[in-house]
Structure formats: C-alpha cells, structure tokens
Chains A and B, each alone.
Chain A
Amino acid sequence: MNFYILSLVKTGLLAFVLLTFCAYLVWIERKVLAHIQLRPGPYRVGPHGLLQPLSDLIKLVTKEGLIPGNVSTGLYLFAPFLAVALALVSIVTIPFGPEFEIFGVRTWLGLTDLNIGVLFILAMSSLGVYATAIGGWASNSKYALLGGLRSSAQMISYELPLALAIVAPILIANTLSFKELAEAQSGFHFGFLPKWHIFAAPFPQIFSFLIFLVAAFAETNRVPFDLPEAETELVAGFHTEYTSTMFAAFFTAEYANIVTICCVTTLLFLGGWHPLFPSAYGSDYVPVILLLGVAGMFFFHAGQTIKTRRWDRFSFPVGGVLSLGLAGLFLIPMLQPILVPFFWFAAKTLLLIFVFIWVRGTLPRFRYDQLMRFAWTFLFPVAVVNLLITAFAVALTSK
C-alpha cells in the first residue's frame, strides 16, 4: 500500500515538475537567446515575462485545432500523441538524487530504477522517430514530408554514435541502471578530482562525452542539426500543418526530450548528483552561498530600478526574499540530504541546457548531406575507436 501511495505522489510530482519545467524551458531559451541577440526577450506578460509560458499555453489550447482536409486523420492525430507520450515516458527511469529517509519512509528521487534504464531510454528515443516520420507523412504536405524524411534519416544515423558513446561509461561502471551508474561515480581521485566518468581513470571519457553531446544535439533536432524543422528551408518541417494542442504536443515533446537527454548526460558522464568537490571542503554549502549571492543581487538592483521597469520595484525584493527562503531550506538538516544532491544534479543539467541554447545562438545549420557524412564518416568511427580504447583500458584495470 505504502508503495502505491508513494508512487502516485512521486508520479504526480514528477509530471507536474517536468511539464512546468518544459514550459519554463521555453522561457529560459527565449530569454538566453534574447540576451545573446541584444534584446530583452519576453517582458510584457508578468514580471520579466515570467507568465509568458502560461499565456502561450492558454493561446495554444484555445486555438482552433485545425485538421487539413487532405491528411490521413488517424495517423495525423496519433503522431503528436506518440511524440509527447514517448518523451514523457522516458523520464521515469531517471533518478534525480540518492536514497534518503523522510518521515520514516525510505525512498529516493525518481520513479523507478529499471535495471536496464539506459536501454529503455535508448529505445524510447528511437521510437520517437516514428512520431516525426508519421507526423510528416500523415500531414500530406511537401514541406512536412521532407522534414519527416530528413528527421528519420538523421535520428537513425545519430542513434549509432549516441549508443556507442553510452557504452563506454557503461563498461566502466558495469551496470545499465542509472542509479548504479551514478553511484559508481561517487568519491574522488586524489581527494579532490571527482570520480565522474568524464575524468575516469585510466582513460578519461571526455571523447565519449563530446560524441554523446553532439549526437544528443542531433537527436533532439537542435541547431546545428535542426534540419527536420529548418525554418528557412522547410518552413516548419514535420509540424508545418499542426496547430493548437497538437502543435503544443510536439513542442512539449521536443523540450521534454532536451530535459531527458541532459539528465542522461549528467548521469552518464558528470557524476549525477555527486558534488564537484568533497563535502569536507564545504560543497554542501555551495547552494546556500549561491542563493545568498542571488538574493544580494536582487536587493542591490531593487534599490536602483529603472523608471520604465515598473515591475522591478516589486519583483526584485520578492525575488530576493524567495532566494533567502530557498537558502534557508538548504540549511534545514532534515532536508539537506535530499536537496543538496538534487541541487548538484539540477545545476549540471541546467548548465547542459544552457549549452544547448548557447549553441543555438551561435552556430549556423549543417546541410543535410554534410550532416549524414559527419555522422557516418567522422562521429561513428571516432566512437568505435573510443569504445575500443575504453574497453582495452577497462580490461587492463579490472581485477
């Protein structure tokens, strides 16, 4: 009984947090891109555009769900559903923190610890191709068809280097469960260098990490690999004909995929929830210090708001108080074992997400054939060689 209640609570919490975060990821992306591009970004809806995701959602849901006359209706409706279902399902195997005990209940942050979690995520992301391919085909539109074709070819090609890059850390940790993978990365070399797979002895997995990251960009259809929806070539690619909630479903799926892939990267290569330096040097207090800094910044700027930004006079002090409150939460001894690992996990994932956005603001787009050639003639061989060397190193060091 206890298990069911706990699972229900956790599922609800996870779904809520994930969907909200996906919505706010759009806001974050728009803000970061805007600041790269010398503009303020969303600013009108709520303080600093913070209610923008909500208004976007209302707009998308209340729009007319138009189904063009010449589509194959069944598949057309099925594609966005498939996309969002697969994107949301793959998050269940991801642990966000270690085990802990609260109110006498022993549990951990995350829904389920599948002993083949890595394979499960790979399978789900492979199935995601169907959503784009079906969506592109069912739309019966030429741009959508080309987008769907591109996307299926691209995702299948990049699956290989992605999988090969994943195998290397799995070899080192000798497990397919994300929880055990993260636990395998606890501790420190020489007392200060974290035993993350990216620093793994004797052969650091920095190459696997880079290959994985590049392939992840391609898997999630992000710049410079955003060919399936290259807006200047194919208008909007496979979702050209989609409107309203169906478009929102594709959109959510895309951002949920980014979140998932960044979480996976963190777990595989960046040590999951393990801190950057030992807690003996005070790593448990990093979130508190950071939040105090944020609060300080809020209060500093609250004192000198610009006249045209009327909201700031209220939003800055509120933000400051909120950060102080959060900092206080991190100091409560009972919550510390939950929040501090989660902080490290979230920090690494957010950093990766920032890289995703940063790259989008910087790089131009590949051409279709160059993209395929890059996957097959460069990324794939490098991944194989990297895997061989890693396997050799693991064989040498294992007892």
Chain B
Amino acid sequence: MSEIDLKTTAATLEAESAAPAGTTRRMTLNMGPQHPSTHGVLRIILDLDGETILSARPDIGFLHTGIEKQAEALTYQQVVTLTDRMDYLSNLANNLAYCLSVEKLLQLEIPERAQWIRVMLTEISRINSHLVWLGTHCLDLGAMSMFFYCFREREDILRIFEYFSGQRLMTSYIRVGGLSVEPPRGWEKVVGNFISQLPSKIDEYEGLLTENPIFLKRAKQVGYLPVERLLELGVTGPMIRAAGVKWDIRKTEPYSSYEKFDFNVPVQQDGDVFARFRVRMDEMRESIKIVNQCLAGMPGGPIRAEAPKVVLPDREKMKTQMEALIYHFKIVTEGFRVPAGEAYVPVESPRGEIGFYVVSDGTSKPARVFMRTPSYGNLQALSELFHGKLISDSIATLGSMDFVLGDVDR
C-alpha cells in the first residue's frame, strides 16, 4: 500500500470514528449513486452503527437535466416534450399538468371528448407507474419474479401508448389545446381487452404478496412517520393517503372533468410500507373503474379546442383556406402567444401532487416554468424515515416512497 493510500485510509478512519472514544466506531456508507436499489442515481450518505442507520443524508442532482431552464428556451407547445422526460413513468400526468396550466392562461375550453381521453390515458399511466413501482419494490425485497410479472402487464400498457401516440415512453400525446392526434380506430377494443384482464392479474399479485408472512414482516411497521410531520414536509400522493389523510386532487380540486367519474380514494391508517402497498394496489383497481367508465361513456366530438390561434388547423383546411394556412405558418414558425400572467394547476400524478407554475410575459416562450414535483416533495421525508432503522428497512422504505430521480432533479 502506498503512502498516499495509507493517508487517505487514515483520514477516512478518523472521520468514521467521530463517536466518543470507548464506544463503537461509526461507519459512513455511500449508498449509491450506482447502487442497485436506489432507483436511479440517488446517493444516500449513511452513518452506520453496525447495520443501524444513525443518520441519512440524500444527495441529489446526479440526474440533473436542466429541464426547468430549458423550458424557457422553447415555445409553449415544445415544452410538452420536456415534461415527458421528467417523470418518465407517468409522463401523461406531467403532460396534463403542464397543459392545464397553459390552457388556464390561454383560457381555452377543452372539448369533452379530449378531456375524457386525457382522463383515461392518465389513469392507464397511473396503473403503469404503480406496476413499475410494485415490480421494483418487490425486487428490492428479494421477490424477483414479481418484477417480471409486473413488466408483462406494463408491456401491454406501453403497446396501448404506442397505439395512441406512436411512442411507447415519451408519448407527448396531451398537447396544449387538446390531444396530438385522433385516437386510432379500434382503440376501444385494445384498451378494453387490456383492462378486462387486469383485475385477475392484480389478484395474482396480491395472492403472492398480501398474505405472505415474509412480505408482511418486511413491510409492516416499517417506514413510519407521524402524519403531522409528513404534512409539514410536503409529502403528497399515496404516501400521505397511506397515513390516513384523504387528500386526492382528483376529488378535492377536480380537473379535466374528473368530477363526472365515480371512484373512491383508497386510504389506509397505518402509514407504513404495507399501508402504501395497500393504497397503491387499491388505486390500481380504482383506476380500472375509471377507465371502464371512460370506455362506456366516451362522448363524441372534436379532440382539440376551437382556438385557431393556438391549435394547428386540419390538413384539409390548411390546404384550402387562406386564413388557416396563415395560422398554421404562424404557429409552426414562432409558436402561439400566451397572454401575460401566471397559472398553476395541480394534478394528482401516481406519486402525488404535480403542478407547473407557468409565468408568461406575453411572448410565445414561457418566462419561467417552475415544477412542483411529487418525487422531490416525498424525498424530503427520507432522512427522518431512515433514522434509527436497519439497512434492510431503509431499502423497503426507499422502495415504498416510489420516487423517480428524473422527477427530483429535473
């Protein structure tokens, strides 16, 4: 061992033995950013006494993409594609949240059909996100096979997305003013087939996990924080609902005609990993209910708002009408102008409240887009959730928090 090595080793050892003399030595463990279960590139600095965590400090920023700043350089419609890349598991909810904010600034009236299709697809993407969560969470707990079962269903969902938008992951299907394209013919059958076989699959998952004694042992009474503290930290979504707070923006501040749908908000009281598991499993079933209602009562009509200055005209109109051609040219070359002002519309994403605070200075590019992302909010609880727990518990808790690093770092 060379001299430098010895020096650095000595320095680390000294730093690690910060505890008073005579007690056990503490160990600092760098969990991540390339750790198998930090779900992306999160780095957590753990102070350990044996396997007990004395303190945990999350270190974020490894996936920083500058999306927030980039948004200021793109036109309003182009920003939609950026929102896909933040939370890549529930991109439709991001699309929706951004579009709702901009549409509020533009004071656009979205046709009912577009609203219903938006609801249906965001619910399917909620199922998608929860499936990925379930698979990776179980993988963390050592139940490897669940991962593959969940991804089997997720594959079907991605096919549905591809069917609708031509893209599997970065759909950008929801646009300012409506949807990007008319849904393809026969979509009812594709969605219906998938949705009708999903409940039995969810039963299968629950059969493997809900009463599995090992899973219960790992999940019950793990990762608990008092509700008051969770609320103070700004935790939203399934995490707060698992702690007994019935807070779901789809119910409290309905958007995109959610008030017309009949569904429950699953709530659990325990606030532990198992409660979060139960909430998300029930949410999947509720989403199935909503999608079924969409299939049954899908209204007809256009999929884009009646706003020639914002929405691109039909190809046929563009080729036959002078006015439409001018609008087309203007929108494509410089984008549409948005009246000065600011707007924020929260949306219930699979992870919690997501919203885009859009500030407009009257030009065709946003002056500022601030993203209130659920993953970032939920991550605030991490150090307190980890405190005094075992490494294994921390992994279970980390999985149950269900964050996406792209959403945290944007």
Partner-B contacts on A (CB < 8 A): 33, 36-39, 69-70, 142-143, 145-146, 149-150, 223-224, 226-227, 230-235, 360-370
B390 near A364: Cβ-Cβ < 8 Å:
no
Interface size in chain B (residues, C-beta < 8 A): 36
B152 contacts A by Cβ under 8 Å: yes
Q: Does B289 contact A (CB under 8 A)?
A: no
A232 in complex: contacting residue of B2, B36, B152, B214, CB < 8 Å: B36
How many A-B residue contacts, CB cutoff 8 Å?
91
**CB of B391 within 8 A of chain A?**
yes
A370 to B51, CA, bound (A): 13
**What residues on A are CB-neighbors of B148 within 8 Å?**
37-39
* B35:A362 contact, CB within 8 angstroms: no
> In the assembly, what is the distance between CA of A363 and CA of B216, in Å?
12
B382 interface hit (Cβ, 8 Å) = no
CB within 8 Å for A33 and B144 given contacts A70-B5, A233-B392: yes
* C-alpha gap A232/B392 in the complex (Å): 9
For residue A150, give the distance in angstroms from its CB to the closest CB of chain B.
8
Say yes or no: A362-B145 contact (C-beta < 8 A), given A146-B51, A235-B35, A235-B36: yes
Cα-based distance from A70 to B390 in the complex (angstroms): 27
Measured CA separation A368–B395 after assembly (Å):
12
Residues of B within 8 A of A227 (CB): 392
**Binary contact track B183-205/A, C-beta < 8 Å → 1, others 0:** 00000000000000000000000
Question: Could you tell me which B residues sit within 8 Å of A by CB distance?
Answer: 1-2, 5, 9, 27, 29-30, 35-37, 50-51, 138-145, 147-149, 152, 208-209, 212, 214-215, 217-218, 390-393, 395
Give chain B residues whose Cβ lies under 8 Å from the Cβ of A370: 217-218
Q: Is the CB of A362 within 8 A of B143?
A: yes
Q: Give the docked Cα–Cα distance between A14 and B249 (Å).
A: 67
CB distance from A393 to the nearest CB of B (A): 30
Which of B5, B140, B144, B208 is the most central at the interface, judged by chain A CB atoms within 10 Å of its CB?
B144
Nearest opposing residue in chain B for A362, CB measure: B145
Residues of A near B36 (CB, < 8 A) are 231-232, 235
Q: How far is the CB of B9 from chain A (nearest CB, A)?
A: 6
Chain A CB within 10 Å — which of B145, B149, B209 has the most?
B145
Q: For A366, list chain B residues within 8 Å (CB).
A: 214, 217-218
Question: Does A230 contact B392, Cβ atoms closer than 8 Å?
Answer: yes
CA distance A367 to B219 in the complex (A): 10
Given known pairs A70-B1, A232-B395, A233-B395, the reply for A364 and B9 (CB within 8 Å) is no
The CA of A76 and the CA of B2, in the complex, are separated in Å by: 18
**Top 7 closest A-B pairs, CB basis?**
A365-B142, A364-B143, A37-B148, A232-B37, A364-B141, A367-B392, A232-B140
Nearest-Cβ distance from residue A71 to partner chain B, whole angstroms: 9
